[in-house]
Amino acid sequence: MSTILLEIKNEVALITLNRPEKFNAFNREMALLLQNKLDECEDNPAVRCVYLTGNGKAFCAGQDLGEVTGDNPVTFDKILVEHYNPIITRIRKMNKPVVCAVNGVAAGAGVNIALSCDIVVASETASFVQAFSKIGLIPDCGGTYFLPRIIGMQKATAIMMLADKVSAEEAEKMGMIYKVFSKENFSEESVAIAVSLSQMPTKALAFTKQALNESFKNTLEAQLQLEDSLQYKAAHTKDYNEGVSAFLEKRNPNFKGE
Ligand code: LHQ
């Protein structure tokens, strides 16, 4: 069985981390395969939203610590540069929304990969652990970039230094994630978010993502300019014409992602 599963359904690419016996911890093969699958999603016009989840009890326990120890360990210089950093940049640059559905515990690289996604939802059984300090490492995978921007510096510092286990409910309350769903409804409700995104004007969503990616590093003036140029592009899409026509004709729009 592959360590990463990819299924395309209703214009949504469902990607599943699939090493359940290891709490979906990443080994090299799995990290490189996730990069390939993300590339496939980016290149395939039939994919208009990506949905990332984990198989089994956990979402992802981060790096497989068995792989960095022992006789023939994968070296640290390779792990970030070749495994994780390309995953994070692919997710942030992807011209389609990426929904992360955190089905269980997310630890180490697992949490920060989740936080790099556009919309993060969780099952009530999920939890988030910045486990790095427990083993003498620093948070990576963009965690020190995303978390303070998402929840503010004070809470981010405490969560990262103390390596507290944050429940899904707490994570929602502090704005770390968008929504928590009951265990029973989690799969259906989280996939429904991805399906509705897949039927929206994909290019406008990509431009929105591009603008948000720049938001925290731009001045207001620069951000206004960026919005102006992206709005110009959005206004020249077929989906914009469709959206306005549908509104005026009092019908539901039929967006094609064009
Ligand atoms: C695991 C793992 C795991 C292997 C659970 N590896 N087996 C960057 C730079 C360079 C190098 C290193 O990495 C990185 C990026 C990183 O991600 S660093 C952080 C690595 N991750 C961690 O430190 C998390 C370690 N795991 C845990 O803290 C706990 O297992 C969590 C909080 C994930 C879950 O706790 P529990 O629900 O109590 O489950 P458990 O501890 O009993 O684990 C279940 C099984 O999964 C167990 O196997 P076993 O055969 O005993 O049932 C664990 O050994 C295995 N597992 N995480 N990362």
91-114 per-position pLDDT tens digit: 999 999 999 999 999 999 999 999
Answer yes or no: are the C-beta atoms of 54 and 114 closer than 8 Å.
Answer: no
Residue 138 is assigned to a structural domain of this protein: yes
CA 247/CA 1 separation, integer angstroms: 47
61: CA distance to ligand 1 center in Å? 5
CA 240/CA 250 separation, integer angstroms: 15
Q: Same domain for 231 and 183?
A: no
Beta-carbon contacts of 3 under 8 Å, excluding residues fewer than 6 positions away, are: 17, 18, 19, 27, 29, 30, 33
Q: Same domain for 10 and 135?
A: yes
Q: Which of 159, 174, 198 is the last residue of a domain?
A: 198
Residue 126 is assigned to a structural domain of this protein: yes
Q: Same domain for 115 and 155?
A: yes
Q: Which atom of ligand 1 is nearest to the CA of 127?
A: 32
Q: Return the HEC string of the chain.
A: CCCEEEEEECCEEEEEECCHHHCCCECHHHHHHHHHHHHHHHHCCCCCEEEEEECCCCCECCECCCCCCCCCCCCHHHHHHHHHHHHHHHHHHCCCCEEEEECCEEECHHHHHHHCCCEEEEECCCEEECHHHHHCCCCCCCHHHHHHHHHCHHHHHHHHHHCCEEEHHHHHHCCCCCEEECCCCHHHHHHHHHHHHHCCCHHHHHHHHHHHHHHCCCCHHHHHHHHHHHHHHHHCCHHHHHHHHHHHCCCCCCCCCC
**Structure confidence at residue 69 (pLDDT):** 86
Q: Which of 173, 198, 223 is the last residue of a domain?
A: 198
CA 238/CA 231 separation, integer angstroms: 13
Q: Same domain for 141 and 183?
A: yes
**Structure confidence at residue 74 (pLDDT):** 80
Q: Same domain for 23 and 133?
A: yes
Residue 96 is assigned to a structural domain of this protein: yes
Q: Same domain for 8 and 111?
A: yes
Closest residue CA from atom 38 of ligand 1: 105
**Residue 81, domain extent:** 4-198
Q: Which of 179, 198, 217 is the last residue of a domain?
A: 198
Q: Same domain for 183 and 225?
A: no
Residue 41 is assigned to a structural domain of this protein: yes
**Structure confidence at residue 142 (pLDDT):** 98
135: CA distance to ligand 1 center in Å? 11
Q: Which atom of ligand 1 is nearest to the CA of 65?
A: 6
> Which residues surround ligand 1 with Cβ inside 6 Å?
22-23, 25, 61-66, 68, 76, 79-80, 105, 107-109, 129, 131-132, 135, 137, 140
Q: Same domain for 137 and 225?
A: no
Residue 107 is assigned to a structural domain of this protein: yes
Residue 255 is assigned to a structural domain of this protein: no
Mean predicted lDDT score pLDDT of the chain:
97
Q: Same domain for 161 and 237?
A: no
22: CA distance to ligand 1 center in Å? 8
CA 126/CA 124 separation, integer angstroms: 6
Q: Which atom of ligand 1 is nearest to the CA of 62?
A: 17
Q: pLDDT tens digits for 180-205?
A: 999 999 999 999 999 999 999 999 99
**pLDDT of residue 78 exceeding 90:** no
**pLDDT of residue 233 exceeding 90:** yes
Answer yes or no: are the C-beta atoms of 3 and 32 closer than 8 Å.
Answer: no
Residue 149 is assigned to a structural domain of this protein: yes
* Mutation choice for ligand 1 from 3, 24, 34, 65, CB with most ligand atoms inside 8 A: 65
**Structure confidence at residue 73 (pLDDT):** 80
Answer yes or no: are the C-beta atoms of 119 and 96 closer than 8 Å.
Answer: no
- Alpha-carbon separation of residue 215 from 151, 152, 195, 211, 245 (angstroms): 15, 15, 26, 6, 31
Residue 253 is assigned to a structural domain of this protein: no
32: CA distance to ligand 1 center in Å? 19
Q: Same domain for 102 and 230?
A: no
The CATH number linked to 43 is 3.90.226.10
Q: Which atom of ligand 1 is nearest to the CA of 76?
A: 10
* Mutation choice for ligand 1 from 23, 67, 141, CB with most ligand atoms inside 8 A: 23
Query: Cα 181 from chain centroid?
Result: 17
Q: Same domain for 223 and 238?
A: yes
Q: Same domain for 73 and 165?
A: yes
Number of domains in the chain: 2
Instruction: Enter the pTM of the model.
Output: 0.97
